[in-house]
């Protein structure tokens, strides 16, 4: 007999986090802080209401996987290729420098040499979860400094994987042992990356093209694709153990690569909007559960040392990043914003510490684990504010940083639409409108959720965006807010209302409606013109009928244009349109 | 972060589901059977911790019911039951009783040892049989809606299926309330109903008083709003759990607490949608994983011994499949014909609804979790659901063909009503216009014909439009347009022009067969399709967008050339709207005269 209740832990976590989260929003604080605090309050450190369960652990794990997947979906290789070299040059010295400083701090404090090594290894990374979540929330993930941060985080992620693999293998017998593990991990990462990129070139385009029209199917197959990578990364050890290889690959890495493969497809924008909410939900559980694993006594054993190290590390991380980014000739603002984002210690630091505790024999004890966790929690919390107010901060300090100004900085590519035309939904009405609008406007982007439509419009030489305009992500990418003219050939009231909400008085908005009542409602919401397509259509048809009964040859002449167009059987026929209608 | 067994199980489920979904797409099958099959397959590997997966899966149920009840408020509450709703209820009753009877017979057969000695099921109690009946009765929403490929629903059988579906959904939620009452005895039901009312009352109070506060507190942050709504749902689920009633009741109440505002909170509702889809997928896969088939190796080794215990399960499953795939369409068809629908619409509607609905599956799983349903019966229900959903896909895809075969073999008998009783056509009519469909377009065309004194005949098959036809039309035939009798009565061969406003493939084909002798105008919304129709002899093809575009071009061109000021255009077009307001909605109840005068 199956006997289940709803998981109480999950219920408490979700409800508590929502309450605190809303409070955080209300007080103008980042939600991450709210979530971490929730974990502290309801976990063993605070009220002791919740203990981590399999379900919460799984959701937290999913949170990280989805976060990285989402990040992957956003990375178009063409857009980041030029950043690969600087990122490698930044991340390697950064990790060495920060690791050395972390080790130094620990040695100065009452930690043994071995403990200090682990602490050094644990504080090297900046938090993927914090940085990416904040960048996403602020819409900066694809800005230049966002891309640099993400790149460095991924480089660190590879290193985490290696460190974990080494720790999992137990106390290394020697340098050869470390080199062996290192080699295997590098090979695995390379193989997976190549597989993902190859798939995005040769397999996925035709596969996803077939299913893209079906929203649900696209979503589920994308998730299935994600889980394929998650499964392989997670079980790589089991898969490779028969051939005697001890391997390790992080789920996060797999998730990122799964996303990366999808990012190269035209359907990625649509998926971003759909994956985002799931990510929000699971990442919330992740942040709450960070603090759930600890007893107060362990967590606070070294609290004074933790405060000192946290402050010291944040300063050191900022300086190291600032110098390295500056060295790579990024402009001052990018350098500052890129550095200020990376000052925290990562949740991966905790993972590394946990691995060190669980290693046989353990490298560190519970108290040291608590120390590392506390440093991570504090730096994460503080850094969130720095990221939240990064631009304001930059404006304040900019005058003092002028000596770091670059004369010839690396320029970010700017591809945003301004004062353009957005056409929603492709059909015959939209086609006619496109032909008229292209005389007046340089930039026209067509949004549609049908693969054939998108291809036809693209072939006709217009910019296209595959996706559902009801998703904010799509409207943002099409720059609906900044458009000069919005033309919607969708007659869904809801869609058009959303468009009218998003646009200002200055934008000319044409929308379509099915009934007179809806048309009136749309005029009230600010539409400049509402196309009552059914009525217009009937009116036109009745004009044809009039000629049909009056004089057959007139009728034939009148419909000749339509017939030519209809006979073409093409979605975007290349036919000169009749000039004007034939009414008065 | 140490125990990822659940994550692995989930990953395997999705990895297996992916290719199955792709195959299903290739075969034009719907999503749910693929998910169930994926679960079924993975379940046999024994990798899945059923209890853990069920916890996640029940979130899927909660989200399904939740989004169902969020929508309830927007649909205006009707007080009058329409004939389709009566059909839906009678259909559910008939199928329910048949299912119950069938299960009882199986039970008796088991009792007397006719069926098996495997010992999986000793006997079927009335309670178990009742669930078989419930599942047979309910066919509902998700499977239905993903099957519908036609975008518009002025086609009679589409809106029939939709309406019967939503009645079924409603019945299912009510049944779930009863099931969660713990037993069918009267006293607990009263208590449970009390709790249900309590939850719903709380929900309505939240909707009225607290939701506004929630909106203010989240102050425009979509993430905060989304998570608050999820938390609200979870809180209601917890409350339901605490009151020892079903989480379905909690989810239903939670939906009522949310104000449905899809425009302002589009992102939030999109978000809920994604989360729902994820958990619903897990739900159906888990349902599949709960079924235990006889292990393949054992079947190969000793077929009879391995299969024997499975016989009762298979029998019940087979019975359910026959009930839903064969008997249900017949019942629905007969009921609809009795209510005045034509044979084709009735048959096709029946063929669209011939499956075990996903709400039926939810009822089953709730009953299993609450301990009323024994596992073998549950397994039979799930198997029947998967099989009938796949078969339903097939019958839906080939519904017209199936109808033709049945009609041509005379299985459907004669049309229930004689075409002669339901029409009014002058004997000697010729050179007339045949207008197919009396919706918005049809009405306007009739007006036009009357204006120019052109004789016409309207063909319509929706009983709702019958009184209008009688009151407003000089000549009409109330029947399925494709039947030969209709062709005779409307004197189609002598017509000057046939205008079909119905975008139905079979009707279009039928009329094009007259293209040699008369002018035929047909309709499609797919532009590339039009070329084919012209090729086959259509005089003209109505593509609504194309016609409207002709008229639109003027306003847009003028605006861009600066002949118009945007505000001027707006004012003018709003003015026009007032004169256009008259054309009626396609609602059948209206019988007003129309003043739409478009010859501006």
- How many angstroms separate the CA atoms of A404 and B46, rounded? 62
pLDDT in tens, B29-38: 778 888 888 8
Decide if B464 contacts B588 (C-beta within 8 A).
Answer: yes
Give the percent of chain B with pLDDT over 90: 3
Q: What angle do CA B25, A72, A410 make, to 5 degrees?
A: 140
- How many angstroms separate the CA atoms of B254 and B203, rounded? 6
CA distance A180 to chain B (A): 25
What mean pLDDT do residues B324-345 have? 84
pLDDT of B176 > 50? The answer is yes
Mutate to test the interface with A, among B66, B265, B548 (most CBs of A within 10 A): B548
pLDDT in tens, B490-513: 888 888 899 988 888 888 888 888
Nearest residue in A to B447, CA atom: A542
Kindly state the tokens that stand for B293. Answer: 């088939």
A583–chain B Cβ distance below 8 A for any pair: yes
CA distance B136 to chain A (A): 23
- How many angstroms separate the CA atoms of A444 and A438, rounded? 7
Q: Work out how many CB contacts closer than 8 A connect A with B.
A: 351
CA distance B540 to chain A (A): 7
For residues B293 and A153, the model is more confident at A153
Least confident stretch, A343-347, B3-7, B450-454: B3-7
Question: For residue B542, how far is the Cα from the chain centroid?
Answer: 28
Pick from B192, B58, B10: nearest CA to A5: B58
A411–chain B Cβ distance below 8 A for any pair: no
Q: Name every residue whose Cβ is closer than 8 Å to that of residue B77 and which is 6 or more positions away in sequence.
A: none
The CA–CA distances, whole Å, from B211 to A84, B64, B262, B371 equal: 48, 21, 15, 36
In the prediction, which pLDDT does A228 show?
94
Q: CB count, 10 Å around CB of A574?
A: 8
Kindly state the tokens that stand for B181. Answer: 């009452």
- How many angstroms separate the CA atoms of B321 and B33, rounded? 14
CA distance B218 to chain A (A): 6
State phi, psi for A265 to the nearest 5 degrees. -95, 155
Helix H or strand E segment including A90:
helix A84-108
Q: Do A6 and B290 touch (CB under 8 A)?
A: no
- How many angstroms separate the CA atoms of A65 and A54, rounded? 16
List chain B residues with CB under 8 Å of A437: 556, 560
Q: Name every residue whose Cβ is closer than 8 Å to that of residue B495 and which is 6 or more positions away in sequence.
A: B430, B431, B432, B433, B434, B457, B514, B518
Long-range pairs for B510-516 at CB < 8 Å and ≥24 separation? B510/B481, B510/B482, B511/B436, B511/B481, B512/B536, B512/B537, B512/B538, B515/B539
pLDDT in tens, B222-276: 778 888 888 888 888 888 888 777 778 888 888 888 877 777 778 888 888 888 8
In the prediction, which pLDDT does B151 show?
36
In the prediction, which pLDDT does B591 show?
32
List chain A residues with CB under 8 Å of B577: 516, 519-520, 523, 530, 532
In the prediction, which pLDDT does B584 show?
42
List chain A residues with CB under 8 Å of B263: 494, 497-498, 501
Q: CB count, 10 Å around CB of A569?
A: 16
Beta strands B540-542 and B519-523, pairing class:
parallel
Kindly provide the residue ranges of all beta strands, DSSP E only, lying in B125-225, ordered along the sequence. Answer: none
Kindly state the tokens that stand for A114. Answer: 């071995």
A508–chain B Cβ distance below 8 A for any pair: yes
Decide if A531 contacts B552 (C-beta within 8 A).
Answer: yes
pLDDT of B117 > 60? The answer is no
Question: Which residue spans of chain A are classified as CATH 3.40.50.720?
Answer: 421-568
Mutate to test the interface with A, among B265, B281, B529, B545 (most CBs of A within 10 A): B545
Nearest residue in B to A507, CA atom: B566
List chain A residues with CB under 8 Å of B497: 548
Q: How deeply is B84 buried, as exposed, middle or buried, from its count of CB atoms within 10 A (0-12, 13-18, 19+)?
A: buried
Q: Do A280 and B549 touch (CB under 8 A)?
A: no
In the prediction, which pLDDT does A120 show?
93
In the prediction, which pLDDT does B509 show?
86
Beta strands B476-478 and B423-424, pairing class:
antiparallel
* pLDDT tier for residue B289 given thresholds of 50, 70 and 90: confident
Can you say whether the dihedral through the CA atoms of A352, A357, A361, A363 is positive or negative?
positive
* Closest Cβ opposite residue B531 in set A5, A531, A569: A569
Q: Do B31 and A15 touch (CB under 8 A)?
A: no
* Closest Cβ opposite residue B263 in set A497, A516, A539: A497
* Closest Cβ opposite residue A538 in set B271, B444, B454: B444
Q: Do B545 and A533 touch (CB under 8 A)?
A: yes
Mutate to test the interface with B, among A17, A25, A509 (most CBs of B within 10 A): A25
A322–chain B Cβ distance below 8 A for any pair: no
In the prediction, which pLDDT does A311 show?
94
Least confident stretch, A281-290, B178-187, B547-556: B178-187
| Most confident of the ranges B416-425, B548-557, B579-588 | B548-557
Decide if B104 contacts B132 (C-beta within 8 A).
Answer: no
* Closest Cβ opposite residue A280 in set B8, B26, B223: B223
- How many angstroms separate the CA atoms of A536 and B598, rounded? 9
CA distance B405 to chain A (A): 31
Q: What domains, with CATH codes, occur in chain B? A: 5-287+297-406 (1.20.1530.20), 419-548 (3.40.50.720)
Q: Name every residue whose Cβ is closer than 8 Å to that of residue A166 and which is 6 or more positions away in sequence.
A: A172, A178, A181, A182
List chain A residues with CB under 8 Å of B152: none
Three-state helix/strand/coil letters over B287-306: HHHCCCCCCHHHHHHCHHHH
Query: What DSSP designation does A75 have?
Result: -
* Closest Cβ opposite residue B15 in set A210, A216, A231: A231
Nearest residue in A to B7, CA atom: A58
pLDDT of B190 > 50? The answer is yes
CA distance B37 to chain A (A): 15
Fold of A8-404: Na+/H+ antiporter like fold (1.20.1530)
- How many angstroms separate the CA atoms of B530 and B532, rounded? 5
Nearest residue in B to A227, CA atom: B11
Pick from B365, B358, B334, B338: nearest CA to B347: B334
- How many angstroms separate the CA atoms of B360 and B385, rounded? 8
pLDDT of B278 > 70? The answer is yes
Q: Which residues of chain A have pLDDT under 50?
A: 1-5, 577-584
Q: Do B234 and A11 touch (CB under 8 A)?
A: yes
In the prediction, which pLDDT does B3 show?
43
Q: Could you give the 3-state DSSP secondary structure of residue B222?
A: helix
- How many angstroms separate the CA atoms of B515 and B538, rounded? 6
Q: Do B548 and A501 touch (CB under 8 A)?
A: no
Q: Do B224 and A21 touch (CB under 8 A)?
A: yes
Torsion of CA A391, A392, A396, A401, to 10 degrees: -10
**For residue A361, is the peptide bond before it cis, meaning its omega torsion is within 30 degrees of 0?**
yes
In the prediction, which pLDDT does A581 show?
40
Tell which CATH classification among 3.90.380.10, 3.30.9.10, 3.40.50.800, 3.40.50.720 matches the domain A421-568: 3.40.50.720
Kindly state the tokens that stand for B384. Answer: 């029947």
Q: Do A14 and B230 touch (CB under 8 A)?
A: yes
In the prediction, which pLDDT does A3 show?
37
Q: Do A563 and B534 touch (CB under 8 A)?
A: yes
Q: Do B440 and A6 touch (CB under 8 A)?
A: no
A183–chain B Cβ distance below 8 A for any pair: no
Q: Could you give the 3-state DSSP secondary structure of residue A511?
A: strand
Q: Name every residue whose Cβ is closer than 8 Å to that of residue B438 and which is 6 or more positions away in sequence.
A: B446, B458, B460, B462, B465, B468, B469, B473, B476
- How many angstroms separate the CA atoms of A135 and A142, rounded? 8
In the prediction, which pLDDT does B154 show?
58
Decide if B165 contacts B144 (C-beta within 8 A).
Answer: yes
Please state the ipTM of this predicted complex.
0.83
Task: Please name every residue paired with A448 in a beta bridge, in sequence order, or none if there are none.
Answer: A466
- How many angstroms separate the CA atoms of A190 and A196, rounded? 10
Give me the helices (H) in A124-267, please: 128-138, 144-168, 175-198, 204-211, 215-240, 251-263
Least confident stretch, A471-475, B119-123, B305-309, B395-399: B119-123
| Contacting A residues, span 343-372, partner chain B, CB-CB under 8 Å | 351, 354
pLDDT in tens, B426-444: 777 888 899 998 888 888 8
- How many angstroms separate the CA atoms of A310 and A343, rounded? 10
Can you say whether the dihedral through the CA atoms of B470, B471, B476, B481 is positive or negative?
negative
CA distance B194 to chain A (A): 21
Pick from A135, A24, A583, A562: nearest CA to A386: A135
List chain B residues with CB under 8 Å of A428: 527, 543, 545-546, 548-549
Nearest residue in A to B373, CA atom: A1
Alpha carbons within 13 angstroms on the beta-carbon side of residue B171 total 26
Nearest residue in B to A2, CA atom: B369
* pLDDT tier for residue B150 given thresholds of 50, 70 and 90: very low
In the prediction, which pLDDT does B595 show?
34
Mutate to test the interface with B, among A26, A538, A552, A576 (most CBs of B within 10 A): A538
- How many angstroms separate the CA atoms of B247 and B250, rounded? 5
- How many angstroms separate the CA atoms of A245 and A250, rounded? 16
In the prediction, which pLDDT does B247 show?
79
Kindly state the tokens that stand for A323. Answer: 């110098």
Alpha carbons within 13 angstroms on the beta-carbon side of residue B368 total 26
CA distance A584 to chain B (A): 8
Kindly state the tokens that stand for B19. Answer: 């290719």
- Residue B390 backbone class (left: φ over 0; alpha: ψ -120 to 50; beta: rest): alpha
């Amino acid at each position: 007999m199956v006997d289940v209740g709803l998981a109480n832990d999950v219920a408490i976590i979700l409800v508590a986090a929502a309450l605190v989260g809303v409070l955080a929003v209300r007080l103008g604080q980042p939600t991450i802080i709210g979530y971490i605090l929730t974990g502290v309050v309801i976990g063993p450190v605070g009220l002791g209401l919740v203990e981590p369960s399999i379900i919460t652990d799984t959701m937290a794990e999913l949170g990280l996987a989805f976060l990285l997947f989402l990040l992957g979906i956003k990375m178009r290789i063409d857009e980041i290729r030029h950043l690969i070299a600087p990122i490698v040059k930044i991340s390697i010295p950064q990790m060495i420098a920060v690791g050395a400083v972390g080790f130094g701090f620990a040695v100065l404090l009452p930690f043994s040499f071995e403990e200090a090594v682990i602490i050094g290894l644990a504080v090297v990374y900046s938090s993927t979860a914090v940085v990416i979540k904040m960048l996403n929330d602020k819409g900066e993930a694809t800005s230049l400094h966002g891309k640099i941060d993400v790149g460095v985080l991924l480089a660190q992620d590879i290193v985490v994987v290696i460190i974990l693999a080494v720790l999992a293998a137990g106390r290394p017998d020697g340098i050869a042992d470390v080199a062996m593990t290192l080699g295997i991990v590098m090979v695995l990462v390379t193989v997976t990356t190549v597989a993902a990129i190859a798939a995005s070139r040769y397999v996925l385009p035709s596969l996803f093209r077939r299913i893209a029209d079906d929203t649900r199917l696209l979503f589920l197959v994308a998730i299935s694709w994600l889980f394929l990578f998650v499964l392989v990364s997670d079980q790589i050890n089991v898969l490779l153990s028969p051939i005697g290889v001890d391997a390790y690959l992080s789920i996060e890495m797999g998730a990122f690569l799964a996303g990366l493969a999808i990012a190269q497809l035209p359907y990625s924008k649509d998926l971003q909007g759909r994956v985002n909410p799931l990510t929000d939900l699971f990442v919330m559980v992740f942040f709450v559960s960070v603090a759930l694993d600890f007893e107060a006594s362990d967590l606070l054993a070294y609290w004074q040392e933790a405060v000192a190290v946290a402050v010291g590390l944040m300063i050191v991380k900022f300086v190291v990043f600032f110098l390295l980014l500056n060295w790579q000739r990024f402009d001052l603002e990018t350098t500052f914003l890129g550095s200020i984002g990376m000052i925290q210690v990562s949740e991966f630091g905790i993972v590394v510490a946990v691995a060190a505790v669980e290693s046989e024999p353990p490298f560190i004890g519970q108290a040291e684990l608590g120390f590392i966790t506390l440093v991570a929690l504090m730096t994460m919390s503080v850094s969130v504010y720095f990221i939240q107010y990064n631009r304001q901060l930059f404006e304040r300090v900019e005058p003092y940083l002028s000596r770091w100004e670059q004369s010839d900085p690396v320029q970010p590519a700017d591809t945003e639409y301004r004062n353009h035309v957005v056409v929603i939904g492709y059909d015959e009405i939209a086609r006619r409108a496109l032909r008229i609008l292209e005389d007046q406007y340089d930039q026209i982007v067509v949004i549609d959720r049908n693969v054939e439509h998108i291809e036809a419009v693209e072939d006709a030489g217009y910019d296209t965006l595959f996706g559902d305009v009801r998703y904010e992500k799509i409207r943002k990418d099409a720059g609906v807010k900044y458009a000069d003219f919005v033309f919607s050939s969708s007659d869904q009231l809801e869609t058009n209302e959303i468009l009218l909400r998003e646009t200002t008085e200055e934008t000319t908005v044409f929308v379509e409606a099915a009934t007179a009542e809806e048309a009136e409602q749309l005029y009230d919401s600010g539409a400049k013109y509402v196309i009552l397509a059914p009525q217009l259509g009937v009116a036109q048809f009745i004009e044809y009928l009039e000629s049909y009964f009056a004089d057959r040859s007139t009728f034939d002449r009148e419909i000749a244009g339509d017939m030519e167009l209809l006979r073409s059987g093409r979605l975007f026929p290349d036919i000169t349109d009749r000039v004007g209608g034939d009414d008065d | 972060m140490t125990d990822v067994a659940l994550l692995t199980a989930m990953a395997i489920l999705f990895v297996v589901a992916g290719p199955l979904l792709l195959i299903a797409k290739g075969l034009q099958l719907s999503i749910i059977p693929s998910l169930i099959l994926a679960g079924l397959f993975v379940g046999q590997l024994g990798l899945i911790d059923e209890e853990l997966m069920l916890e996640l899966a029940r979130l899927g149920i909660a989200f399904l019911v939740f989004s169902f009840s969020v929508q309830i408020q927007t649909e205006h509450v009707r007080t009058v039951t329409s004939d389709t709703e009566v059909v839906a209820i009678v259909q559910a009753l008939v199928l329910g009783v048949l299912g119950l009877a069938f299960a009882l017979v199986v039970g008796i057969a088991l009792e007397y040892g006719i069926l098996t000695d495997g010992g999986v099921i000793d006997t079927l109690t009335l309670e178990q049989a009742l669930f078989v009946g419930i599942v047979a009765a309910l066919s509902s929403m998700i499977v239905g809606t993903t099957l519908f490929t036609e975008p518009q629903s002025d086609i009679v059988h589409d809106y029939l299926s939709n309406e019967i579906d939503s009645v079924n959904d409603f019945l299912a939620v009510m049944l779930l309330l009863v099931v969660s009452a713990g037993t069918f005895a009267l006293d607990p039901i009263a208590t449970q109903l009390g709790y249900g009312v309590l939850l719903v009352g709380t929900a309505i109070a939240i909707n009225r008083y607290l939701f506004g506060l929630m909106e203010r507190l989240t102050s425009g942050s979509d993430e905060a709003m989304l998570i608050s709504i999820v938390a609200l749902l979870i809180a209601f689920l917890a409350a339901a759990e605490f009151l020892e009633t079903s989480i379905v009741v909690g989810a239903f109440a939670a939906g009522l607490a949310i104000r449905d505002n899809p425009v302002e909170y589009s992102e939030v509702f999109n978000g809920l949608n994604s989360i729902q889809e994820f958990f619903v997928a897990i739900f159906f896969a888990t349902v599949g994983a709960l079924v235990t088939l006889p292990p393949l190796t054992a079947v190969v080794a000793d077929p009879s011994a391995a299969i024997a215990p499975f016989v009762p399960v298979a029998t019940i499953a087979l019975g359910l499949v026959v009930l839903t795939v064969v008997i249900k369409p017949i019942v629905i068809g007969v009921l609809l014909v009795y209510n005045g629908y034509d044979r084709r619409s009735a048959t096709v509607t029946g063929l669209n609804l011939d499956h075990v609905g996903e709400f039926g599956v939810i009822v089953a799983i709730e009953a299993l979790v609450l301990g009323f349903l024994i596992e073998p019966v549950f397994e039979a229900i799930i198997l029947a659901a998967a099989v009938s959903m796949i078969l339903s896909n097939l019958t839906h895809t080939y519904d017209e063909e199936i109808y033709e075969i049945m009609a041509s073999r005379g299985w459907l008998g004669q049309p229930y009503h004689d075409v002669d009783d339901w029409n009014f056509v002058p004997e000697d009519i010729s050179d007339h216009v045949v207008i197919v469909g009396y919706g918005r377009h049809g009405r306007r065309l009739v007006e036009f014909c009357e204006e120019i004194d052109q004789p016409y005949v309207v063909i319509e098959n929706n009983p709702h439009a019958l009184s209008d036809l009688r009151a407003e039309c000089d000549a009409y035939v109330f029947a399925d347009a494709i039947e030969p009798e209709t062709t005779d009565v409307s004197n189609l061969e002598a017509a000057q022009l046939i205008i079909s406003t119905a975008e139905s493939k079979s009707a279009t084909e039928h009329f094009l067969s007259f293209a040699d002798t008369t002018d035929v105008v047909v309709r499609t919304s797919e532009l590339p399709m039009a070329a084919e129709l012209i090729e086959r002899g259509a005089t003209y093809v109505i593509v609504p967008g194309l016609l409207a575009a002709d008229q639109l071009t003027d306003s847009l061109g003028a605006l861009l050339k600066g002949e118009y000021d945007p505000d001027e255009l707006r004012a003018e077009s709003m003015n026009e709207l007032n004169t256009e307001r008259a054309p009626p909605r396609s609602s059948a109840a209206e019988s007003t005269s129309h003043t739409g005068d478009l010859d501006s």
